[in-house]
Amino acid sequence: MTTTEEMVRRDLSVLWHPCTQMKDHESWPPIPIRSGSGVWLEDFDGRRYIDAISSWWVNLLGHCQPDISAAIRDQLEQLEHVILAGFSHEPVVRLSEQLVRITPAGLSRCFYADNGSAAVEIAIKMSFHYWRNQGHPEKTRLMNLSNSYHGETLGALAAGDVALYKDTYAPLLRQPVTAPSPDAFSGEPGETAAELAARRADELDALLEEHAHEVCALILEPLVQCAGSMRMYHPLYLRRAREACDRHGVHLIADEIAVGFGRTGTLFACEQAGIRPDFLCLGKGLTGGFLPLSAVLCTEEIYAAFYDDYQNLRAFLHSHSYTGNPLACAAANATLDVLERERVIEANQERIRWMGEATRELRDHPHVADVRQTGMILAIEMVRDRSNREPYPWTERRGQQVYRHALSQGCLLRPLGDVIYFMPPYVINREEIATLARVAGEGIDLATRDRGDRRRG
Ligand code: PMP
C-alpha cells in the first residue's frame, strides 16, 4: 500500500503547490489525502481531519456527497463536454433556469467560466463593454473596496486590494479607485457596525461623485471580505452602495464567489440588503465543491446592449474552452437540488447558533480581539494586545502555529494570517463544531504563550 512518506516524496519532487512557500515543506510536508466523506478527510495513514474550511470554501454539502457523485456519473454516460458556442446541452440550460430563478429578481442571463477569477474578469469586461456600446468609452476604471479580494489572474488581482497577493505584481496591474472598506473591525471605539457602514457609504458616495465619469463599475464582496481576513460589515452598506451606483451611473458587481450559496446564512448575501446587483459572480460552492465552474449573471438591460447585427461589432467575444462544461453543470444542478429539497439553508440556522455558542469563551481570551460571525462563517482574530488590537508581527507566523496544532488534533483549520476561521461544509454536527472550537482555543493558547513560556513548556 502507498504510504504517506512515499506520496510526500513523489509530490515534493514534481509539484509546486498553490499559495505556498515550498521551503516550508522541508519542516512541514504536505498531507496527501486518500479519501473524503462528509466533513472528514482521511490521509494515507488513516488519520482523519475535519475540513473546517471546506477546502478553500468550495465544499458545501460534504465530501463525496452521494447525490452529486451520482449526477456526475450519470452525466458521464451521456456527454462529457461540448463546445458551448453554437451548441447547447440540457445541464447548462437547466442550471441557467435555476440560477435565474434563485438569484435576486432581475438577473436574467448567465455566462459561464471555470473559476472565480475568470468570472470576475468577465463581469469587468462586460461592464466596460456595456458602457462602450452605450457611447461611453471613457468609463474605463474600476472602483473597489480596501481589503477586498477578487482572485489571482491579473485582471482579478487588480480588482482586489490585499497587499500580500498584489504588491509584488503592482507594475503589471491597472489601479482601481479604492473606497475605504466598511469592515466593522476597523471602526472607531464605540462605533456600531451600522454607524460605520453609514459613514463609509458617505465616503463612497463622495468618491463616486468625483470619479463616476471614468468608472464603469464598483466591485465588492457582499457582507464578508473573505480573503481579507474574514472582515465583516453591515448590510446597510450594500443598500447605500446600490443607491449610490444608481445615482452616479455606475454598475454594481457583487462577487459572491465565496459568500454565495448560504455561507452568510441566506442563499445569497445580497438578499440581506434586499438589493440586486447588475452583475453577480458565482463560483466555488456552485458545484458543491466537486468540479470547477463559475457563472456571471447580469440583467436583461446589460444583455440588450450587446444584442445587435454582427457587423456592428457589439458582441461579447469572450470564451473559455470549458465554458459551461456538462459534468460541472450536472454537479451544480444536483447541488442546488439538495440545497432546496433538504432545506439546507434553514437547517443551517441551528449550525450557525452552535458555532456562536461553541466559541463564546474565546471572546474573553486575552489574545483574541474579535470573534465575529456572519452566518456559517466565524472568525477569531488573534492579537498581541487586545486592549489596543495590536497585531503580532507577521514574521512570527502565530496563525501557522495554530494550524499545526489543529492538524495534530485532526482539524484542518488553515488560518488567514492570525485570523482563525470556520467555514465548514453544511453537514457538520454539533460535536464536530465543539471539537473545532476546543482545538482552535488550544491552538491560540499555544501560539500566544510568550517565548519564555514556550521554552518552559
Ligand atoms: N472572488 C472571491 C471573493 C474569492 O474569495 C475568490 C477565491 N478565493 C475568487 C474571487 C477567485 O476564485 P478562484 O480561486 O476560483 O479563481
Residue 59 belongs to a domain: yes
Whether residue 2 lies inside any domain: the answer is: no
User: Does residue 257 line the site of ligand 1, with CB under 6 A?
Assistant: yes
| 161 within domain boundaries | yes
Same domain, 128 and 142: yes
Residue 16 lies in a domain: no
Rounded to whole angstroms, how far apart are CA atoms 35 and 446? 30
Tens of pLDDT, residue by residue, the chain (457 residues): 788 999 999 999 999 999 999 999 999 999 999 999 999 999 999 999 999 999 999 999 999 999 999 999 999 999 999 999 999 999 999 999 999 999 999 999 999 999 999 999 999 999 999 999 999 999 999 999 999 999 999 999 999 999 999 999 999 999 999 999 999 999 999 999 999 999 999 999 999 999 999 999 999 999 999 999 999 999 999 999 999 999 999 999 999 999 999 999 999 999 999 999 999 999 999 999 999 999 999 999 999 999 999 999 999 999 999 999 999 999 999 999 999 999 999 999 999 999 999 999 999 999 999 999 999 999 999 999 999 999 999 999 999 999 999 999 999 999 999 999 999 999 999 999 999 999 999 999 999 997 544 433 3
The last residue of one of the domains, among 307, 323, 341, is: 341
Domain check: are 375 and 428 in the same one? yes
pLDDT of residue 437: 98
The reported pLDDT for the residue numbered 455 is: 39
Look at residue 21 and tell me if it is in a domain.
Answer: no
Strands 294-299 and 279-282: antiparallel
Domain assignment of residue 224, yes or no: yes
Cα–Cα dist 275/253, whole Å: 12
**pLDDT at position 457, please?**
34
Probe residue for ligand 1, chosen from 59, 181, 257, 279 as the CB with the greatest number of ligand atoms within 8 Å: 257
Q: Find out whether the beta carbon of 226 lies less than 6 Å from any atom of ligand 1.
A: yes
Residue where one domain finishes, among candidates 285, 314, 341: 341
- Tell whether 25 is covered by a domain: no
What is the total count of domains within the chain?
Answer: 2
**Dist. CA 9 → ligand 1 center (Å):** 30
Are residue 54 and residue 199 in the same domain, yes or no? no
Nearest-CA residue for atom 5 of ligand 1: 258
Same domain, yes or no: 236 and 113: yes
Domain-located, residue 204: yes
Give the DSSP per-residue string, 332-387: HHHHHHHHHHTTHHHHHHHHHHHHHHHTGGGGG-TTEEEEEEETTEEEEEE-SBTT
The answer to whether residues 295 and 362 belong to one domain is no
Domain identity same for 49 and 166: no
Supply φ then ψ for residue 218, to 5 degrees: -100, 130
Place of cell 465565496: 258
**Residues spanned by the domain of 294:** 68-341
User: Is the distance from the beta carbon of residue 120 to the nearest atom of ligand 1 less than 6 Å?
Assistant: yes
357 and 272 co-located in one domain: no
Choose the final residue of a domain: 324, 341, 358: 341
Any ligand 1 atom below 6 A from CB of 256:
no
Cα–Cα distance for residue pair 95/83, rounded to 1 Å: 17
Residue 455 CB neighbour total at 10 angstroms: 8
Same domain, 318 and 371: no
- Atom 15 of ligand 1, residue of closest alpha carbon: 116
- Nearest residue (CA) to ligand 1, atom 12: 116
Does 150 contact ligand 1 (Cβ within 6 A)? Answer: yes
Q: Are residues 210 and 82 in the same domain?
A: yes
With cell 440588450, the residue in question is 304
Length of the chain: 457
The residues that bridge with 346 in the sheet, in sequence order, are: none
Cell numbers at 196, concatenated: 460605520
What's the 257 CA to ligand 1 centre distance in angstroms? 6
- 116 ligand 1 Cβ < 6 A: yes
The CATH number of the domain where 396 resides is what?
A: 3.90.1150.10
Q: Is the CB of 283 under 6 A from ligand 1?
A: yes
- 242 and 297 housed in the same domain: yes
| CA of residue 120 to ligand 1 center, whole Å | 8
Is the beta carbon of 255 within 6 A of some atom in ligand 1?
yes
The residue whose C-alpha atom lies closest to atom 10 belonging to ligand 1 is 150
CB 427 within 8 A of CB 64: no
**Residue ID of nearest Cα to ligand 1 atom 7:** 151
- The enclosing H or E element of 399 equals helix 398-408
Question: Is the same domain home to 188 and 259?
Answer: yes
Atom of ligand 1 nearest to the CA of 259: 3
**221 touches ligand 1 (CB under 6 Å):** yes
pLDDT at position 456: 37
From the alpha carbon of 294, which atom of ligand 1 is closest?
15
Q: Is the CB of 263 under 6 A from ligand 1?
A: no
The CATH number assigned to the domain holding 146 equals 3.40.640.10
Q: Are residues 225 and 165 in the same domain?
A: yes
